[in-house]
Structure 1
Amino acid sequence: MATKLDTQTIKNLKKPGRYTDALAMGLHLWVKDSNKKYWIYRYTMDGKQRNIGLGPYPDVGLADARIKAIEAKKKVVNGIDPKPHKETRIEMEKQKATFSEFAKQFIETKSSEWTNTKHRLQWEFTIEEYANPVIGNLKLDQITTEDILKILSPIWAKKTETATRLRGRIELILAAATTRRLRSGLNPAQWKGHLETVLAKPNKIKKVKHHAALPFDEIPEFMEQLREMGTMAALALEFCILNASRTGEVIGGKRNEVSESVWIIPGERMKAKREHRVPLCERSIQILKISELLDPDSEYLFSRKTKPLSNMAMTMVIRRLKKKVTVHGFRSTFRDWVSERTDHSSEVAEMSLAHAISNKVEAAYRRGDLIDKRRALLTDWENYCKLQGNLITSQSEIEAEGEIYA
């Protein structure tokens, strides 16, 4: 039953329910349990009853609600649905969304899949530093190829790596906008078949710098120098080289990850985000025993006063030995040695390096991790490093060498 609504009556309504206005056909006041009140216009379109919100009371007063109801009724009479369609909402979003606002939302959403906070910082910095000054205030559907070139051209030759990564990030952001139907047409940051026709190929501008590596012929002498240094960082580097590992894998390594001559590195510390088993040979096991003697209360494989080594610890060892190489470069040294001096397969070498399988079909059918073959390879590598003849296995001998590192 319709109610003759007036301002005082509306204020006094407390009981939850829907109250129909007697003067404006289809206008209702909904009173909620929380005593909040909302204007609703109810109408029929294409044989279906529908509702459209007109706003909360008292933000929308009685007179305004009646005017809105009358305007909505006129549309219904003319066959127009007064309720905004999805397409209308998308158009409204297009009018509001700028690149900088959408990029911020995109980074916020995607950052949950990045295990390293460094990635988020790099995304935020490059977008803020290079993209936003040019397109930050533009609507997503206004961005053109010329805008992208204004961003990239000044740094394409000078900061090639940064520019290529920035281009890829902008492309992903605009692709997400297209998915959300906030823009349409060609992605102006697309490389293949588009920007590649007007920008020089990155690999033609500046060659990628590979990590400096020590020639494998010099490895035996280098390993002897490490043993003579007598430091925890030198032990860690020797272990890192013998197992063709990465810095983060070693300095983050924990003693509870080692069991029965196998070091199991959890996926969160691996570049490929998959658990990796490392078969430890004799010298590696010996190194771990020495490191435990030096810091018995630590949970880490290599530490000082129970705290793990810093990212720079092994690099500083190399610098003290005056070698112009990197820790990561020893992985290349190992790979070169496998190819040029052994009959071990490329597959076993790549798995020892924990490289992801690029062939998706092969990856799908791969079941084992070739640990026995990898143990044989690492044993040969250890022998090549001329450490096998000097191995010490008794507790007293280990303690004696441990005194060198104390």
Structure 2
Amino acid sequence: MTSHAPARSVHHPTAEDEVVGICQDLLRIDTSNYGDGRGPGERAAAEYVMGALTEVGLEPELFESAPGRANVVVRLPGADAARPALVLHGHLDVVPAAAEDWSVDPFAGEERDGLLWGRGAVDMKDMDAMILSVVRQMAREGRRPARDVVVAMFADEEAGGRFGAGWAVEHRPELFEGATEAISEVGGFSVDVGGHRTYLLQTAEKGIGWLRLVAEGRAGHGSQVNTENAVTELAAAVARIGTYSWPQQLTPTVRALLDGVAELTGLPFDPEDEDGVGRLVDALGPAARFVGATVRNTANPTQLAAGYKANVIPGRAEAVLDTRFLPGHEDEARATLERLAGEHVRLEDIHRDVALEAPFGGDLVDAMVAALHQEDPEATVLPYMLSGGTDNKSLSRLGITGYGFAPLRLPGSLDFSAMFHGVDERVPVDALRFGTRVLDRLLETC
């Protein structure tokens, strides 16, 4: 008589089991993007993503837009292939970090005091790790998302996406065939508003206009009288633009957010009362940094260049502006900048990208809100506008509507907005695990 041992069940790690380790692995790959061609590129991180996806039986594609500038895309077949596809995307590059300014090695992926520290911990290797861990779990379990999902990990987001999402949209649009909506970074995180945990779902982005101011005058000896001094003309233009008080203009997204804040705090909301709007913005705590820049256009001088010797008046002087314009207000902002620059200073485009505004409603938004409430039933969810930009700008050229939804339940004491591009960037490990649960629910229901 032959005896047989009982079959052993195979334990597969869950997304919650894996997400912290995947995030650490990604943080330890230096993908610094200096925006000028320097940096290691994203190839090593892209190869890591390829390995994580192929290990569970998926067939992703890695492609480069330039040597080392690597992107990865894979399509997950959905339960209902007739529905439009969803793009779930992240970026693999990070802004540089000066190690001497940090409390830890910015590329060590150190876990300390219940947080993961490192460049990219919130922008946005945390979301990359959540995406990878959830997709791996679904693949191992043989589960399909509710509809086709195009998972993309892009290069170069931190420099405008020319080698990443922008390149893919221009050269590989077939990868996104049938997609109408997208989800990415800088939304879905919690803040405390009047004692209520509130998740900010990103439904809008300001537009980007990086501009060069150019003044040309008469070169000459520094000891002579010169009424056509390019430096003087440029300095005056920079001062006018840098000190200009832009008028308050509230878009539908910002109005909806402030309405919600007023309801949670009991503060009055009068769109014409700038001081009252300021009090509502301040009620968002650290998130006020994000929101405060979305009630008006902005233009900040960031660079200056002129001359080569103390006693030589240069014939040309230049400055760079970082301008961010509200949806629907680009032409108005440009006209204001040209007026402030004056007749002797011209504006040249360096980089421009669109402003976006999507409705806070519809099936996808309802599914995101429901997924959050499954994990945090008493929470409030409000829309907000991002003062920066994401790769959703590039995808919008294909008619894809993008949202920011990297779900994180955060302690009220964490100054989350300061983590973006900041020193000692870090994210709570519990928030990563929370995010995987929310994201898993979302993919099954959206």
User: TM-score, normalization: structure 2?
Assistant: 0.21
Select the structure that is richer in helix.
1
Bigger relative contact order (CA 8 A; separation at least 6): 2
User: TM-score, normalization: structure 1?
Assistant: 0.22
Select the structure that is richer in strand.
2
